[in-house]
């Protein structure tokens, strides 16, 4: 059919005005494709100018739909599943408001792996850290995606060790910062669980455990790294670690201060030669990060330690960055 929509790009938005939203939409509408696609945005009660920005693009282009919901209705898993249920694209392409398509071929590359096999029901894009990203995060992101496959190829993953079923592994790793899946598969077969956080980890695990494949396309690139300050980094890591535990039901565990210190020092020393060779940093920035980067590693491991020591179900409001941001935005 000539008017068939090949892809629906879904972007969940909440206070994106100062979180790259306009930059993301501009790059999205610079895509060059030989197929029809549209955009669905669900805004969950933004208190800034996000809706105004979205409506500007809505008036300029005829393929953008905006749905507004209350903040209390949003969840990372449930809202993404809702998007699949109310969209009309053959494929759902999930994109965070701060994930900026890196080139004009991004959307085409997101769909190419589906041509390889019908068993591919999840596509993962490569994330390129922003040039100003602090080294601890930058090198972590690069390491994660280097493990997924080489940059100029598609790598297909499946479960090979039956004892790993039900666990998070590199085979099941998935990130909804930028991902894609067949829409009807999400609706009729395996969809997103209605979880508050780490819905992508759950989907990746579920499809791999069921015998389907995940594809990593190193040519589908978005520029993305969280704009987070040192004072918030421990809480950010706490959120990520605790919510993975919450979904998996992992019991609490104790890490000694000596272990946290040792891991922080090890990571700092590993990063140091990379910083000195990094062309993204000026000479002054190299000197600065050679000192300050260690503080990010310390905060990271403090966050991991705290998230693993708390009993599941306890009140985490004082430790959670996401909770504190929501509370601030509601005032």
**Of 223, 247, 262, at which residue does a domain stop?**
223
Burial class of residue 299 in the structure, from the number of CB atoms within 10 Å of its CB (0-12 exposed, 13-18 middle, 19+ buried): buried
pLDDT digits (tens, 9 = 90+) for 138-197: 999 999 999 999 999 999 999 988 888 888 899 999 999 999 999 999 999 999 999 888
Q: Indicate whether 47 and 190 sit together in one domain.
A: yes
* Predicted local distance difference test score (pLDDT) of residue 127: 97
Domain membership of residue 20 as a residue range? 5-223
Quick one: pLDDT band at residue 250, thresholds 50, 70, 90? confident
**Of 174, 191, 223, at which residue does a domain stop?**
223
Q: Indicate whether 266 and 239 sit together in one domain.
A: yes
Q: How far apart are CA 188 and CA 191, in angstroms?
A: 8
> How many domains are contained in the chain?
2
Q: Indicate whether 196 and 85 sit together in one domain.
A: yes
Q: Indicate whether 213 and 123 sit together in one domain.
A: yes
Q: Indicate whether 38 and 185 sit together in one domain.
A: yes
* Residue 2 pLDDT greater than 60, yes or no: no
Give the predicted TM-score (pTM) of the model.
Answer: 0.92
Q: Indicate whether 53 and 37 sit together in one domain.
A: yes
Q: Indicate whether 213 and 249 sit together in one domain.
A: no
**Of 223, 238, 257, at which residue does a domain stop?**
223
pLDDT digits (tens, 9 = 90+) for 96-153: 999 999 999 999 999 999 999 999 999 999 999 998 999 999 999 999 999 999 999 9
| Residues near 325 by beta carbon (within 8 Å), at least 6 away in sequence | none
The region, left, alpha or beta by phi > 0 then psi within -120 to 50, assigned to residue 217 is: beta
Q: What is the CATH number of the domain that holds 196?
A: 3.90.550.10
* Residue 1 pLDDT greater than 80, yes or no: no
Q: Indicate whether 57 and 10 sit together in one domain.
A: yes
What is residue 62's three-state secondary structure?
Answer: coil
Q: Indicate whether 137 and 20 sit together in one domain.
A: yes
Quick one: pLDDT band at residue 328, thresholds 50, 70, 90? low
Q: Indicate whether 242 and 288 sit together in one domain.
A: yes
Q: Indicate whether 197 and 325 sit together in one domain.
A: no
Q: Indicate whether 40 and 105 sit together in one domain.
A: yes
Q: How far apart are CA 41 and CA 54, in angstroms?
A: 8
What is residue 126's three-state secondary structure?
Answer: strand
């Amino acid at each position: 059919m000539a008017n068939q929509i090949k892809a629906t790009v879904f972007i969940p938005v909440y206070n994106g005005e100062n979180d790259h939203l306009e930059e993301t939409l501009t790059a999205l509408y610079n895509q060059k494709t030989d197929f029809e696609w549209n955009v669905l945005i669900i805004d969950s009660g933004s208190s800034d100018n996000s809706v105004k920005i979205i409506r500007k693009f809505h008036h300029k282009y005829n393929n953008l739909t905006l749905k507004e919901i209350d903040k209390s209705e949003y969840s990372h898993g449930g809202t993404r599943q809702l998007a699949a249920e109310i969209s009309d694209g053959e494929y759902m392409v999930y994109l965070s408001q701060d994930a900026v398509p890196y080139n004009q071929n991004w959307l085409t590359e997101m769909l190419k792996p589906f041509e390889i096999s019908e068993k591919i029901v999840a596509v993962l894009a490569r994330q390129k850290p922003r040039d100003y990203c602090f080294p601890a995060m930058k090198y972590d992101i690069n390491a994660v995606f280097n493990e997924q496959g080489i940059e100029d190829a598609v790598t297909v993953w499946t479960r090979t060790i039956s004892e790993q079923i039900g666990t998070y592994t590199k085979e099941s790793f998935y990130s909804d910062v930028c991902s894609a899946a067949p829409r009807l598969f999400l609706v009729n077969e395996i969809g997103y669980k209605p979880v508050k956080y780490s819905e992508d980890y759950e989907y990746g695990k579920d499809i791999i455990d069921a015998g389907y494949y995940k594809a990593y396309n190193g040519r589908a690139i978005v520029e993305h790294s969280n704009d987070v300050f040192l004072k918030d980094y421990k809480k950010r890591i706490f959120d990520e670690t605790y919510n993975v535990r919450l979904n998996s039901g992992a019991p609490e565990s104790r890490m000694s201060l000596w272990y946290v210190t040792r891991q922080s020092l090890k990571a700092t020393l590993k990063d140091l030669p990379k910083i000195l060779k990094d062309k993204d940093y000026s000479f002054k920035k190299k000197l600065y990060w050679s000192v300050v980067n260690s503080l990010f590693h310390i905060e990271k491991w403090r966050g991991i330690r705290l998230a693993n020591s708390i009993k599941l179900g306890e009140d985490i409001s004082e430790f959670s960055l996401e909770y504190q941001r929501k509370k601030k935005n509601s005032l």
